[in-house]
Chains A and B, each alone.
Chain A
Amino acid sequence: MNDGHATGPNGRPGDASQGSVPASDLGEIWSALDSLPRASASIDMAATTIDMAAVTTARSAPRATLRMGRGQPTSWRGWLLPAVAVAGSLIAGIVVGRVTVPDPDLRILESMPLVRHLPLLQEAGSVKFLQSLSARRNQQPLRMPPEMLRDEGREFDAAVADLEADHAWGTVARPLIDERRATIATMAGDERDSIERSAAAFQELTATERRNLATVASALADPKRDELRAAARLWHLIIAASDPPDRKNIVQLDPESRLEWLERRSRFREWMGERRGLPPGIEGGSLPPRVPGPGGIPGDGRPRWQGPRGEGGPQGPRGDGRSRGEPGPRGEGMRPEGSPRSDRVGPRPVEQPPEPAHEEGPAVAGEN
């Protein structure tokens, strides 16, 4: 192997004449690097880069103006000439920019279906997630009022129908751009504000995120992909049925984390169902793991009292040295499964023998 990191050309013309020493002489190891593939940028990367550059230009102009205004001489003769020069440059820059730089508004109009349904598409996440959700079985019923369920479903269906009706994004024909512009012009104030907020959020997205949104939108707009639509609809309803403070965090999860969250939610609900099915008063048994919130917060976010010394501490859960299930001074410890409740009001059932619940301590059942 050539140990020629100090010498040895890489074969590039011009190196020797420049007196530069090439760096690529690493012999056989170097040749192995040839196996690494050359990558290609995605087809819309150039367009989105130019678009982002245009947005950058539009944003940087006001800041530059502010900086120019600071620390100028107070005499009007001192600042008038620079101010005129700055204003002239700005106007010229705006004019030149409008002529030469792609119009960000045009990009937004080209992507209008994605912008209009941005929250829904971000909520759906990715095709991969929808496919996973579609393959998932044993969906549990949603706990929300029927009318709310119906309204949310209608809202989703309307959005999908809208996407199906207008699913042109990317490079769009001029007449359609004009049509979209006219539609926005006739929108009510609230609706237009909503579109403007979505457009601002859309411009903040990276090229990868925009491509992902377009992929999801294409899938939802395709009437042949019913299973994805059904999965997206179900997910929309699940989100609608979740606690409002949690929704944003849930939507921001990646596909795997979303599925994990659903799994934990299902387990928790199953456990809750089992608990409700037990006869009242039956306590004990190991608790399933609490349902972690999407941000990794255990439980439902409500604070839980840990006891004066902390549950499971050296003094036991009640701080008196006794553990759960161990009889207390009055025999009120945990009963075996199926044993009667000691605090039941009313006469003892006939079939229950009139004997204390526990051998230790005074009988509690006799207190009734």
Chain B
Amino acid sequence: MPQPVRDPSTELMLRVRDGDADAFADLVVAWQDRLVTLFLHHTGDHATAEDLAQEVFLRVYRARATYQPTAKFTTWVHTIANNVASDLRQRAYRRLERGVPANTSASSSAIGLDQLAVAASGFLPTRRADRTELQAMVRDAVAGLNERQRMAVLLAKFEQCSYEEIAAAMGLTVPAVKSLLFRARDQLRTALEPYLQGDRS
């Protein structure tokens, strides 16, 4: 079935472009949970996730006059979200250069894969991890990915994006996205395999 050219969010955005404040409110309500989820798993901190989601909405609002419905609104928002996440990373680098400690909750790749594997193996001998432990393991494993891998995985998993949509949002080619996700999968497997083996046994 062909994808409709204008999804509901695109329709809302067109109304925002035309000065309809209620449409902007509807857009925020429709998208806030999705963006907060995306940024929560990207940064690991709920408050930071809300701030970043707000930044996305503000950029959408500031750029409303130039919005053209040539692409899906979803892709446009994902592009902005990727830019906001990228800006966060650059700010963290600048802080490091100035010797200011970065926010640990938003740190990336803080946990080495070896550590993760060792931690995961702790689940092997005796017990099956409950959901909370699984969440913690997966969260740490995702945090162990680099920024771009993590964003690609989150867009694919939580936003159900195709390779093409991820490529458009992140400014990459489709082969580059495939490669990115392939490496991400390998890293996730390295980190989580001990747990998954234990779970199967």
Within 8 A of A (CB), among B31-59: 32-33, 36-37, 40-41, 46-47, 49-51, 53-54, 57-58
Check B181–A56 contact: CB distance below 8 A: no
Chain B contacts for A207, CB-based, 8 A: 50-51, 54
Whether B58 contacts A56 by the Cβ 8 Å rule is yes
Assembly CA distance A56 to B32 (angstroms): 19
Tell whether A356 is near chain B: CB-to-CB under 8 Å: no
Contacting residues, chain A, for B152 (C-beta < 8 A): 23
| Chain B interface residue bracket vs A | 35 or more
Chain A residue with minimal CB distance to B196?
Answer: A28
Q: Which residues of A contact B11 (CB under 8 A)?
A: none
A interface, size bucket: 35 or more
For B178, the chain A residues whose CB sits under 8 A away are: 5-6, 21, 23
Contact indicator per residue, chain A 198-210, by CB within 8 Å of chain B (1) or not (0)? 0000000011100
- Bound state CA distance, A17 and B4, in angstroms? 11
Chain B neighbourhood of A21, CB < 8 A: 162-164, 174, 178
Say whether A23 contacts B161, CB under 8 Å: yes
Asked whether A13 and B160 contact (CB < 8 A) given A29-B192, A39-B46, the answer is: no
Return the contact of B51 from the options A1, A5, A53, A208 (Cβ within 8 A): A208
Which residues of chain B have C-beta atoms less than 8 A from A49's C-beta? 28, 32, 54, 57-58
Closest to A46 in B: B28
A84 within 8 A of B: no
A17:B2 contact, CB within 8 angstroms = yes
Supposing A41-B33, A45-B53, A49-B58 touch, asked if A5 and B182 sit within 8 A by C-beta, the answer is yes
A102 to B19, CA, bound (A): 12
The contact string, 1 if C-beta is below 8 Å from chain A, for chain B 150-188, is: 001101111011111110000000100110011001001
Is B98's CB within 8 Å of the partner chain A?
no
A352 located at the interface, meaning its Cβ lies under 8 Å from any Cβ of chain B in the complex: no
Residues in B whose Cβ lies below 8 Å from that of A17 = 1-3
Residues of B within 8 A of A15 (CB): 162
0/1 string, A1-26, CB within 8 A of B gives 1:
10001100010111101101111101
Interface centre among A35, A96, A206 (most CB of B within 10 A): A35
Q: How far is the CA of A26 from the CA of B193 in the complex (A)?
A: 13
A46 CA to B29 CA, complexed, in Å:
6
Query: Which of A24, A101, A207 has the most C-beta atoms of chain B within 10 angstroms of its own C-beta?
Result: A24
Write the chain B residue with the least CB distance to A14. B3
Q: Are B50 and A41 in contact (CB under 8 A)?
A: yes
Given contacts A33-B153, A52-B54, contact A5 B135 (CB under 8 A): no
Question: Which residues in chain A, 38-97, are within 8 Å of chain B measured between CB atoms?
Answer: 38-42, 45-46, 48-50, 52-53, 56-57, 60, 96
Determine whether the beta carbon of A20 is less than 8 Å from that of B163: yes
A1 to B58, CA, bound (A): 41
B46 to A: closest C-beta gap in Å: 7
A105-144 CB mask vs B (1 if < 8 Å, else 0) is: 0000000000000000000000000000000000000000
Contact B138 A32 (CB under 8 A): yes
Q: Does the CB pair B192–A32 fall under 8 Å?
A: yes
A305 at the interface (CB under 8 A from B): no
Report the minimal beta-carbon distance from A43 to chain B, rounded to whole angstroms. Answer: 10
Supposing A5-B182, A21-B163 touch, asked if A60 and B62 sit within 8 A by C-beta, the answer is: yes
Question: Which of A36, A42, A60 counts the most chain B CB atoms within 10 A?
Answer: A36
Give which listed residue, B53, B139, B163, contacts A41 with CB less than 8 A. Answer: B53
Residues in A whose Cβ lies below 8 Å from that of B37: 38-39
Q: Does A303 contact B (CB under 8 A)?
A: no
In the complex, B20 has a CB within 8 A of chain A? yes
Residues of B close to A18: CB separation below 8 A: 2-3, 162, 164
> For the complex, is B73 an interface residue (Cβ under 8 Å from A)?
no
Chain A residues whose C-beta falls within 8 Å of the C-beta of B162 in the assembled complex: 10, 12, 15, 18, 20-23
Judge whether B61 is part of the interface by a CB distance below 8 angstroms.
yes
3 nearest A-B pairs in the assembled complex, by CB-CB distance: A20-B162, A100-B21, A23-B156
Q: Which residues of A contact B (CB under 8 A)?
A: 1, 5-6, 10, 12-15, 17-18, 20-24, 26, 28-30, 32-33, 35-42, 45-46, 48-50, 52-53, 56-57, 60, 96, 100-102, 206-208
Given A13-B1, A14-B2: 14 more A-B contacts, CB < 8 Å? A5-B178, A18-B3, A21-B178, A29-B192, A35-B134, A36-B139, A37-B135, A45-B32, A49-B28, A49-B54, A49-B57, A100-B19, A208-B47, A208-B51
Q: List 11 A-B contacts (CB under 8 A).
A: A12-B160, A17-B3, A20-B164, A23-B177, A39-B33, A39-B36, A49-B57, A50-B28, A52-B54, A206-B54, A208-B51
